[in-house]
Amino acid sequence: MLVLLGATVLAACSDLGDPPTDPDPDKNDAPVVAAVMPDSGAVGDTVSISGTDFGDVAGSVMLGAANMTIVSWNDLLVRSIVPEGAVTGSIRLLNAGGTSNAVSFRVGSGGGGGHPLPVISDIVPLRTVVGDTLWLNGTGFGTDPGDLRVELAAASGRVEAPILSWADTQVLVEIPQTAVAGLVTVTDGDRSTEGIDFDVAPELISFGSDLLNAQRTQGLFVAQGCSACHFDRQFGNNGFSVGNPTDIRAGGIHGPAAVPRHAEQSLIIRVLKGIEPGIQRMPQGGEMPAAQIRIVEDWINQGMRDN
């Protein structure tokens, strides 16, 4: 009886069939475009297309019937150039998985004469106070700004930065008083370059009062014990001194310790954070709090001011 019952159960289970399987496990998903930045531009402009399932092997990007030139391609971001002969239409991305959704893109002068926008490669510094200067490095700025303007984020949207100097590969501006953390762009009419993240520091840092004041009774380097071991380049540990900005910039046996305006490139910051290979994290016997490291970073980004 038990044998018959078991056979019946097995037969019933077999009637349920095998579990469903993916008919094509190697099939790729069609790409999905989430955003196109900017959403308008002229021939020669670079357009950033973000989304998902683009894949790591480049496919193609179409603007209407025109094939866009691909600058870079990865699974989440594709950069391409508006080609000659392109007209207003929809951008679609094609790969092995299929064709993406369409996103509208307007081709025209955008109020800026139709010439290609410049390309910002980097900004210096990445963080500083309002009223300080900001360098934009790149290509295609031209010899004078014309209709171009540099914009930063503001609480009310965007704010134009006063121009201090302008050359084809570098632009210098003053950071407006109303600027907040956000993207720095160069704008021409209603067209804008790709933005680069910029952060606004809350205050101006002084070496004398904030890091090592003249009386050596306060200041971050004194409070953390840095000056006890690194008081003089001749007698300090590893030939490194925190006694003045010149000594900090010169560094010790490991080379220059700070690069003005470039905290992200400065050895002293990497050592304080404990991320420099082959060098022990400082100060010895404890870690400098992140908020205090940020003060040193701000001081470097602000040009390593002496007072």
Containing domain of residue 171, as a range?
119-200
pTM metric for this prediction: 0.60
Q: Judge if 95 and 145 occupy the same domain.
A: no
Domain-located, residue 6: no
Note the pLDDT of residue 185: 94
The 10s digit of each residue's pLDDT in 23-58 is: 555 557 899 999 888 788 788 888 899 999 999 999
Q: For residue 101, give both structure tokens.
A: 């959704």
Domain membership flag for residue 265: yes
Neighbours of 122 (CB within 10 A): 10
The last residue of one of the domains, among 134, 168, 200, is 200
- Give 1: exposed, middle or buried? Use CB within 10 Å, 0-12, 13-18, 19+: exposed
**Same domain? 47 vs 86:** yes
The domain boundary residue, chosen from 82, 107, 132: 107
Residue 306 forms part of a structural domain: no
pLDDT at 12: 42
pLDDT of residue 121: 93
- pLDDT of 132 higher than 80: yes
CATH for 64: 2.60.40.10
- Which of 77, 107, 137 is the last residue in one of the domains? 107
pLDDT value at 305 more than 90: no
Average pLDDT over residues 144-149: 90
At 151, is the pLDDT very low, low, confident or very high (cuts 50, 70, 90)?
A: very high
Q: Are residues 196 and 211 in the same domain?
A: no
Alpha-carbon dihedral sign for residues 267, 272, 277, 279: positive
Mean predicted lDDT score pLDDT of the chain: 80
Residue 219 sits in the same domain as residue 292 = yes
Q: Let me know whether 39 and 61 are in one domain.
A: yes
Q: What's residue 238's pLDDT?
A: 59
**Is 189 within the bounds of a domain?**
yes
pLDDT at residue 170, as a whole number:
97
Residues 194, 212: one domain? no
> Where residue 10 falls among pLDDT bands split at 50, 70, 90?
very low
Q: Are residues 153 and 95 part of one domain?
A: no
Does residue 153 lie within any of the structural domains?
Answer: yes
Assess whether pLDDT exceeds 70 at residue 6: no
Q: Are residues 296 and 211 in the same domain?
A: yes
The C-alpha torsion from 5 through 11 and 16 to 20, rounded to 10°, is 120
Residue 16: predicted pLDDT = 44
Tell which wins on pLDDT, 74 or 281.
74
pLDDT at position 304, please? 87
- How many residues in total does the chain contain? 307
Q: Are residues 48 and 67 in the same domain?
A: yes
User: Higher confidence at residue 220 or residue 248?
Assistant: 248
- Let me know whether 175 and 245 are in one domain: no
Q: How many CB atoms lie within 10 A of CB 14?
A: 9
Average pLDDT over residues 280-297: 81
Contact between 198 and 158 under an 8 Å Cβ cutoff? The reply is no
Question: Average of pLDDT values for 277-284?
Answer: 80
Same domain for 225 and 266, yes or no, is yes
Identify whether 19 is part of a domain. no
Q: Is residue 264 part of a domain?
A: yes
7 in a structural domain = no
- Quickly tell me which residue has 């050592």 as its tokens: 271
Quick one: 289 and 222 in the same domain? yes
Instruction: Tell me how many domains the chain contains.
Output: 3
pLDDT in tens, 202-245: 988 877 655 544 333 335 555 455 554 555 444 555 557 776 77
Task: For the chain, give the longest Cα–Cα distance.
Answer: 99
